[in-house]
Amino acid sequence: MAETVFNGHAIIIGGGMAGLLAVHAVAGHFERVTMLERFSLPADIGEHSPVARRGVPQSRCIHLLMAAGAAAFDELAPGWQQGLLEQGARPFDACADAIIRTSSGQFARAPSQITAYSASRALFEQALRRRLPATVSLRTNCRVEGLLSDPDGGRVRGVRCLDRDTGEEAALRADLVVDASGEGSTVSNWITALPEHGDLQVEKSVVASGTTYVTRWFEMEPGAAPDWHCLSIAPGSDTGLRSVMFLRAELNRWGLVLLSRGGESLPADDASLMDFVENLRDGELQRALSCAKPVSPIYRYGSTSNRMMHFDQVGDWPEGLVAVGDAACTLDPCFGLGMTNAARGAALLRRFLNQHGRASMSAIQFQKALGSQNAEPWRLATGREPDGRPLSGIARLGPLRDQAPSNPEVAHALLAIQHLLRPANTPQEFVS
């Protein structure tokens, strides 16, 4: 095989959260980075936040960045918080600044040192987009049609793309192509179109959650706002299969998410929404909503699912190509792990480049490491191993959930697991 020649160019497919994070991951290792987004992007948000972005099903829903995700953001784009702070979004302690109700009771509001962020997706994306290095160029309304490769298909050399505004096709050469195009990724089809890859088979695991949800945005004057940032009500004897998240966002905005399992109907108008809330019999939520003004329609989302692509098991995965974010592993958005998982994957990519350099990094070894890393949030979201086997170990979190309302140390241990700060193995010292 001829000697590999590098031109210092990386291509990121997808201009969303995973794509922006991937840009920050690779920018220091390539002289040029091009981000390709198939739709146009909204203007920077202002007083009318949030702004829905086309092609993102959850763009209208408030987003939660877990503590491990915030740490990865720090690693990838230092100073990213400034954009959130300028719009009024604030970090909060995941326990002291939150009301957490479970079937076993309410957690004591004790400082946990576990810091999370909640805001509109538009604001999170804006915070990352505004900190892109000068070496990054963005092409919108640009759809990737396939991959370029060496004659034997062993290394990807770029992409074929279509300018949706002009209808012009182009071939863009690159040393590294990062697929961050989301759950709708067709990277498997692109690979099978490469020479010597026509028989490639990519296994995947899919676990439906059975959860449906609606979301709505509210506005609350600072003087009327509660002293907490997050209210979380889990299913229980009083709520049945219903659950709630009410989170402070930016610009006096709050995001309400009502969830249900088992096919139970969800509210579609003001009256049914208030009936849903009243039936939860939660005074804190009712008081907060009584001071809040709706500023959006009620958005409904259908049943969600979790999907893991087993790229790590593809024996002839081509060099020069990696897949990150939802393109590799999609998690039920109801768990609030999507941004965090994408950030952790991008941070892993940066560490791989730091360790191996752009010329010698093994793409398949990265996919193997990413698959191993994705296994932890997958287990939390599905209660299963990535290969589909039931996960008995996840049940061991039950004792933690039972003890958490009466023991702040246990509550903080459980929250650390949920925020991906520690493995989902029940610490024996907490189990009585």
> What pLDDT sits at residue 387?
86
> What pLDDT sits at residue 4?
41
- Strands of the sheet containing 32-36, edge to edge, are 136-139, 32-36, 9-13, 176-179, 321-323
Task: Give the tens place of pLDDT for each residue, 360-412.
Answer: 999 999 999 999 999 999 999 998 889 888 876 665 688 888 899 999 999 99
> What pLDDT sits at residue 47?
46
SS (H, E, C) 280-347: HCCHHHHHHHHCCEECCCCEEECCCEEEEECHHHCCCCCECEEECHHHCEECCHHHCCHHHHHHHHHH
Task: Give the tens place of pLDDT for each residue, 9-54.
Answer: 999 999 999 999 999 999 999 999 999 999 988 765 444 454 666 7
Residue 194 has pLDDT above 80, yes or no: yes
Cα–Cα nearest to 361, from 151, 178, 185, 101 = 178
Q: What percent of the chain has a predicted confidence (pLDDT) above 90?
A: 76
Residue showing tokens 């219903």? 242
Cα–Cα nearest to 113, from 416, 432, 348, 342 = 416
Average pLDDT over residues 290-319: 93
* CATH 1.10.3720.10 describes domain 62-127+210-301: no
> Would you place residue 58 in the very low, low, confident or very high pLDDT band (cuts 50, 70, 90)?
confident
Q: Tell me the C-alpha distance between 250 and 230, whole Å.
A: 13
> Would you place residue 239 in the very low, low, confident or very high pLDDT band (cuts 50, 70, 90)?
low
Task: Give the tens place of pLDDT for each residue, 59-77.
Answer: 889 999 999 999 999 999 9
Q: Tell me the C-alpha distance between 13 and 143, whole Å.
A: 9
Residues comprising the chain, all counted: 432
Q: In sequence order, which residues have a C-beta less than 8 Å from that of residue 60 and are 6 or more positions away? A: 50, 52, 215, 217, 296, 299
The one-character DSSP state at 404 is: G
Average pLDDT over residues 333-349: 95
Q: Tell me the C-alpha distance between 280 and 125, whole Å.
A: 33
Task: Give the tens place of pLDDT for each residue, 110-139.
Answer: 999 999 999 999 999 999 999 999 999 999
Q: Which CATH number is 9-44+132-207+306-382 given? A: 3.50.50.60
Helix extents (H) in 77-215? 81-86, 121-129, 187-192
Please tell me the least confidently modeled range out of 141-150, 186-195, 297-306, 313-322.
Answer: 297-306
Q: In sequence order, which residues have a C-beta less than 8 Å from that of residue 283 and are 6 or more positions away? A: none
> What pLDDT sits at residue 237?
55
Cα–Cα nearest to 20, from 285, 294, 349, 386 = 349
> What pLDDT sits at residue 431?
58
Task: Give the tens place of pLDDT for each residue, 69-108.
Answer: 999 999 999 999 998 999 999 999 999 999 999 989 999 9
Residue 265 has pLDDT above 50, yes or no: yes
* Virtual torsion, Cα 351, 357, 360, 364, nearest 10 deg: 20
The answer to whether the beta carbons of residues 212 and 259 sit under 8 Å apart is yes
Average pLDDT over residues 149-153: 95
In the chain, where the domains are located: 9-44+132-207+306-382, 62-127+210-301
